[in-house]
């Protein structure tokens, strides 16, 4: 079966991290990113073939911010043929996670230009990438 040059849904994962003070971890996407350059958003990325969602979440957190995470709770699936990703039909699988070890830092400067912890009030005023704000609302971290 030939799949080259065929469109197919892309499956991604999003890591929702909230610290003891209730602050939400976000990263600022690099200027060179095709989708949502210079926007703040959740840690995440595309799943690799053969990976489980949990494996993908852990890999993305380590690659992007250099931390080991534990997965706590699946939030839901986000599917959209138009709007959630400007160039692809995509499905997102966000999960609430916790940092097990490490301190977040910018690991992939080609994808991430800054990181930070923000209060829910600050996040509500921000324009986030994709539908990350809705994910945070659905997870119960934003009103």
Residue 143 within a domain: no
In a domain, 3, yes or no: no
Closest CA to 29 of 17, 13, 45: 45
In a domain, 30, yes or no: yes
Greatest Cα pair distance in the chain: 51
Does residue 5 form part of some domain? no
In a domain, 43, yes or no: yes
Residue 112 lies in a domain: yes
Q: Is residue 33 part of a domain?
A: yes
User: How many residues does this entry show for the chain?
Assistant: 143
Predicted pLDDT of residue 90:
82
- Residue 3 confidence (pLDDT): 43
Compute the distance between CA of residue 132 and CA of residue 75 in angstroms, rounded to an integer. 12
Number of domain units in the chain? 1
Residue 110 within any structural domain of the chain: yes
Mark the ranges of the chain whose per-residue pLDDT is less than 70: 1-8, 81-88
* Residue ranges making up the domain that contains 104: 10-138
The CATH number assigned to the domain holding 70 equals 3.90.79.10
Which of these, 8, 29, 1, 6, lies nearest to 90 by C-alpha position? 8
* E strands present in the chain: 10-17, 24-29, 40-41, 43-46, 68-74, 78-80, 90-101, 112-118
């Amino acid at each position: 079966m030939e799949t080259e040059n065929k469109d197919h849904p892309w499956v991604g994962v999003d890591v929702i991290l909230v610290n003891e003070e209730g602050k939400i971890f976000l990263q600022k996407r690099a200027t060179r990113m095709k989708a949502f350059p210079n926007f703040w958003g959740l840690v995440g990325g595309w799943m690799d073939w053969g990976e489980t969602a949990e494996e993908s979440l852990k890999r993305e957190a380590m690659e992007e911010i250099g931390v080991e995470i534990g997965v706590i709770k699946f939030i839901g699936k986000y599917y959209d043929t138009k709007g959630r990703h400007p160039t692809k039909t995509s499905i997102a699988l966000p999960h609430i996670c916790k940092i097990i070890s490490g301190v977040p830092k910018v690991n992939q400067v080609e994808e991430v230009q800054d990181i930070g912890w923000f209060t829910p009030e600050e996040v509500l005023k921000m324009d986030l990438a994709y539908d990350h704000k809705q994910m945070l609302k659905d997870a119960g971290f934003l009103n």
